[in-house]
Amino acid sequence: MPDATTWDLAGIALLDDLEPEELTKIAPWFEVQDVSPGVNLTGEGASGYSFYILSDGTASVTIDGVEVNTLGPGDFFGELAILGDGVRTATVTTTSPSRLLVLFGTEFRQLQQEQPDLASRIEAGVRARLQPAA
């Protein structure tokens, strides 16, 4: 799989606060994956050590077979397992041709150390997802 380039990361809301030289530095940490519709990217209950950003396409998030969310360009997932106990809390399945930016565990830890503000935004996403619905 090819490494991401600065071009791949441009326009991703999660990364908007990064300077161009910071994007250039972290781009090779990401792998670019193009996938077809119907591909399970994560499986509920499975081990998982990858963080994903959906750069193009759509996906469905299910828990116990019930759709709980839909994802579109710029949405990210996989952080609950990578920051928690390593177990996926939901199944994420593509619903259209999609392009993903994938960050594996080692690179995710490097990102946490070298980009603490970005890591804080990802962790804020975790907290928001763990909040009970009102």
Query: Residue 97: its pLDDT value, please?
Result: 98
Query: Residue 59: its pLDDT value, please?
Result: 97
Is the pLDDT score of 34 beyond 90? yes
Task: Give me the percent of the chain exceeding a pLDDT of 70.
Answer: 94
Of the two residues 131 and 52, the one the predictor is more confident about is 52
Query: Residue 73: its pLDDT value, please?
Result: 94
Its CATH class, for the domain covering 6-130, is mainly beta
Is the pLDDT score of 1 beyond 80? no
Query: Residue 86: its pLDDT value, please?
Result: 86
Q: Are 85 and 46 in contact (CB under 8 A)?
A: no
The C-alpha atoms of residue 72 and residue 96 are separated, in whole angstroms, by 10
Query: Residue 102: its pLDDT value, please?
Result: 95
For the ranges 27-36, 102-111, 114-123, which has the lowest average pLDDT? 114-123
Q: pTM here? A: 0.88
Could you tell me how far CA 129 lies from the centroid of its own chain? 13
